[in-house]
Amino acid sequence: MPIPMQVARWNKAGLNRVTRHIAPWMPGFGLIVHRGRRSGREYRTPVEVFQARDGFIVALTYGADTDWLRNIQASGGGLLRTRGLTFQVSEPRVYHDEERAGIRPAERRMLRLLDVADFVHLKAVLRHSS
């Protein structure tokens, strides 16, 4: 079972407000910029991100039923800011991987301890510097 949704609510109310300012620059993290499905409002969600051959892998630490993921699925994509760069991301593909392939060894161990084995692959195209 991924991290409980109550923790996600606490993060949304507090920790995310801080981490969304450093996530676009911090190694291993990024910021998903997406629009609300109903509100049309822009949101910025910090995520744990791993580079893939044609894009990025994002660990779904709260499971696949998160607002940011549903928003990019509904719109077909969004932006990912990571390592000081901005990427247009599209074609979100959710998958389950008990082996956590494509994840760095230290993070693979941590995700295993947290019982996180759901991910989303995002195709990415470099847009511009952040």
pLDDT of residue 25: 74
Q: Does residue 17 surpass a pLDDT of 60?
A: no
**Average predicted confidence (pLDDT) for the chain:** 86
pLDDT tens-digit profile of 93-129? 999 999 999 898 999 999 999 999 999 999 999 986 5
Q: How far apart are CA 39 and CA 43, in angstroms?
A: 10
Nearest to 54 by CA among 27, 18, 91, 100: 91
User: CA 25, 70, 54: angle at the middle one, nearest 5?
Assistant: 50
The pTM for the full model equals: 0.82
% of the chain surpassing 70 pLDDT:
80
Residue type (1 letter), 10: W
Nearest to 63 by CA among 94, 34, 89: 94
pLDDT of residue 2: 56
